[in-house]
């Protein structure tokens, strides 16, 4: 800007009051008050970390709301000074019910069960369920209706949707033998699995040798064991020819839909 224009701008600048700065340019007045300047700088003054928000606690009064934790959502709450708060994503009613039972997830509600089937020796049975990043899985649960006898081994495990084993139990055949039935068998994984990537995971069970346990399942699978669009993961699956729980799996369509839960 030329010196003459700067001088003209300075000459046309007046303080109308202690709270108002008036700038005149080209004969037209545009007013920028000090209050406006302060409002524009309030974000810079209050926000001091990535993700911070600035809210109003009253008319013309602003305050900082620190960023929430990963995965939290912002909700209105009139009891808070800013009328807002960070919190966990609200859980749906079915999830609340599972939490009360001590479950993290299940592949279908036990309300929908209606049959029991004897496992086949060497045939791993899989059930697809959804897990969130941050879930920590320590147990695979099944419902036993007829106890097993004289087995070589029985194991449970967890696979990702691509068929890679991410967790496995020790031989827990004793948990499936004797005792009162029906009962829930809680199969402890040898090492808890911390879910890094949320998505579909397969809980599974494999029995080898002896009289296999009879487990609770859905009444029928019919087309339920068909991939959606021909490309999705199978909701229920199996793989034969196993002598121990495999480290990688190529699940095929199953004839039975066994119930699995995780905790």
Write the DSSP string, 67-131: ---TT-EEEE-TTSTTSEEEEPPPPPHHHHHHHHHT-SEESS-GGG--EEEEPPTT-EEEEEEEE
> Tell me, what's the pLDDT at 72?
82
d(CA 32, CA 13): 11
Q: What is the pLDDT of residues 29-72, one digit of tens each?
A: 555 555 555 555 666 677 777 777 777 788 778 788 788 888 78
SS3 call for 229: helix
Residues 111-122: tens digit of each pLDDT: 767 789 999 999
Report which of 195, 190, 70 is spatially closest to residue 136, judged by C-alpha positions.
Answer: 195
Q: Which residues of the chain have pLDDT under 50?
A: 15, 24-25, 223
pTM over 0.75: no
Q: Which two tokens stand for residue 77?
A: 């709450």
The CA-to-CA distance between both ends of the chain, in Å, stands at: 71
Burial of 12 (0-12, 13-18, 19+ CB in 10 A): middle
pLDDT number for residue 135 = 94
Q: What is the dihedral of CA 138, 103, 245, 155, to 10 degrees?
A: 80
Which domains, ranges and CATH numbers included, belong to the chain? 3-87 (no CATH), 94-262 (2.60.120.380)
The CA distance from 21 to 31, in Å, is 7
Q: What local confidence, expressed as pLDDT, does residue 238 receive?
A: 94
Radius of gyration of the chain, Cα coordinates, nearest whole angstrom: 32
**pLDDT at residue 71, rounded to an integer:** 78
CA distance 76 to 82: 9
Measure the CA–CA gap between 10 and 34, rounded to whole angstroms.
18
Residue 142 · residue 156 · CB < 8 Å:
yes
């Amino acid at each position: 800007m030329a010196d003459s224009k700067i001088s003209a701008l300075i000459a046309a600048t007046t303080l109308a009051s202690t709270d108002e700065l008036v700038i005149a340019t080209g004969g037209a007045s545009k007013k920028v008050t000090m209050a406006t300047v302060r409002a524009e700088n309030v974000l810079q003054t209050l926000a001091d970390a990535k993700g911070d928000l600035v809210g109003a606690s009253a008319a013309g009064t602003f305050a900082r709301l620190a960023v929430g934790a990963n995965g939290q959502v912002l909700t209105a709450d009139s009891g808070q000074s800013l009328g807002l708060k960070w919190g966990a994503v609200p859980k749906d009613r079915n999830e609340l019910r599972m939490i009360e039972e001590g479950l993290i997830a299940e592949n279908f509600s036990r309300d929908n069960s209606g049959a029991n089937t004897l496992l086949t020796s060497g045939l791993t049975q899989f059930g697809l369920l959804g897990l969130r990043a941050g879930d920590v899985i320590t147990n695979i649960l099944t419902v036993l209706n007829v106890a097993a006898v004289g087995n070589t081994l029985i194991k449970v495990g967890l696979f990702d949707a691509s068929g890679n084993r991410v967790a496995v139990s020790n031989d827990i055949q004793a948990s499936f033998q004797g005792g009162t039935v029906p009962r829930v068998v809680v199969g402890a994984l040898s090492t808890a699995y911390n879910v890094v990537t949320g998505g579909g995971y397969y809980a599974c069970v494999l029995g080898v040798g002896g009289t296999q346990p009879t487990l609770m399942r859905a009444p029928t699978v019919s087309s339920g064991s068909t991939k959606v669009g021909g490309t999705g993961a199978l909701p229920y699956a199996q793989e034969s020819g196993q002598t121990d729980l495999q480290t990688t799996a190529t699940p095929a369509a199953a004839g039975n839909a066994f119930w699995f839960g995780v905790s």
